[in-house]
Amino acid sequence: MKVTVNEVSSVERKIRVDYEWKEVEKYYHQTLNKLRKGLKVDGFRPGKVPTDIAKRILGPRLSYEFTNAVIEGTYRDVIKEQKIENFIDFAISGVDFEAGKMFFYEMTVEFDPDIKLPDYKKGFPVKKPVYDLDDEDVDFYLEDIRERHAEISEVTEGAEKGDYLICDMQETDEKGVPLVNRKVTDRVIKIGEGIFGEPGSEGLIGAKAGDEIRIQLKSKKGEKINYLVSVKRVESHRLPELTDDFVKSNFKTIDTHKALREEVKNSLQKEWDERSEKEFLRGITEYFVEKTSFEIPKSRINHFLDNVVEEMKASNDNKELDDQQLREQYRPLAEREIRWYLISEAIGRAENITVTQEDIDRKIQEMAGEYSEKYRETVLNYYRKAENRSHLKNDIQDEKIFEYLKTFVKVKKETINTKDFRHRGL
């Protein structure tokens, strides 16, 4: 056997493997004998067709299965002998043989790169937003509770400020011509609230079911957008007062307006804290992605994008989508996600961060404990599947790596009032 290796890139090698016939002859005879067993030819018993006749009949099929047998039986050893670590994929780019004389094949081998991590143990800065909950957020949520318990009645005399329209909104050009794929059906809007209280929306006042009204709104960028609003229904919502009696009758564990407000405040603050933590962890990943340079194997990117296209088609009822456009759109995300995955794997190896079976079992019990007894068994059954346990293992590994990296972060806190946050349009 003779092996010739050419370096295509830091994560790719092209390998040609040449064999003398005697080195692959066993694969040829094994393949021929296997195919002969199922060969039926008039005048011969099954499996007893003479070799020369069998070769002639089997022809291309024999060649195809023989070459596959040689490649399948040898490529792993070839890659191992070349000391190619972190092997992830290979593709055959050429193959040929002449029975009794020679056999060769060429393959392109991809492998994960060697990653040199930054000196993070000296400490590295990461911003962490601290969201200070504004009372308006609490008021808004309480108003939403009132809205969900509203008495709804149909308006027939024409909409007023504060009424609701159930309508279709078709975006048009300046001449009123509808724009393709720019229609929203069954939109619920409140007259006088948000953009529907700004100049250009006055035509909604007085609207009745069946009316078609043209309005002009402004986008966040200040651009004028024209709409044709087709009104289906006009509603008036009578909202209840959030008295202690209302709270007692609608919430099992809360009995006063004050307690409800405190519960809402704590719940919203928890959501903002979770958002803060996610942004903080994203800052950690960005530090490593920016400070760590390496080439990504093409097969990893292609596999990621294949999954994106498949998921997008499934979520769009398998409608025709532009595969190439989707791949271009999601390629930056693919590169970022793969970079962080490879970096986190390198950190895990360098610091010997592992996930034990006990870690997995403990996490499953923790999650099951968050549910009532009625649903606890459903959670346990879900994680009895190997695939789901594998995903959970990866999540736990990520948690451990982040907890380890946090010990080296120089946190730069930035306090943001959620009112300011809303005004930024973020």
Q: State residue 425's pLDDT score.
A: 41
Residue-wise DSSP of 300-330: HHHHHHHHHHHHHHHHTTT----HHHHHHHH
What single letter denotes the amino acid at residue 113? P
Q: State residue 421's pLDDT score.
A: 67
Q: Closest Cα partner for 285 from 213, 338, 248, 360?
A: 338
* Residue count of the chain: 426
Domains and CATH numbers, the chain: 2-111 (3.30.70.1050), 151-238 (3.10.50.40), 249-294+353-423 (no CATH)
Q: State residue 286's pLDDT score.
A: 97
Which parts of the chain sit beneath pLDDT 50?
A: 424-426
Q: State residue 422's pLDDT score.
A: 59
8-state DSSP, 240: P
Q: State residue 65's pLDDT score.
A: 95
Strands 124-132 vs 409-417: parallel, antiparallel or unpaired: parallel
- Are 170 and 216 in contact, with CB atoms under 8 Å apart? no
Q: State residue 424's pLDDT score.
A: 47
Distance CA 221, CA 306 (A): 34
Distance CA 163, CA 159 (A): 6
User: pTM for the full model?
Assistant: 0.78
Q: State residue 318's pLDDT score.
A: 65
pLDDT, tens digit (0-9, with 9 covering 90-100), for 216-246 = 998 878 889 999 999 999 999 999 999 999 9
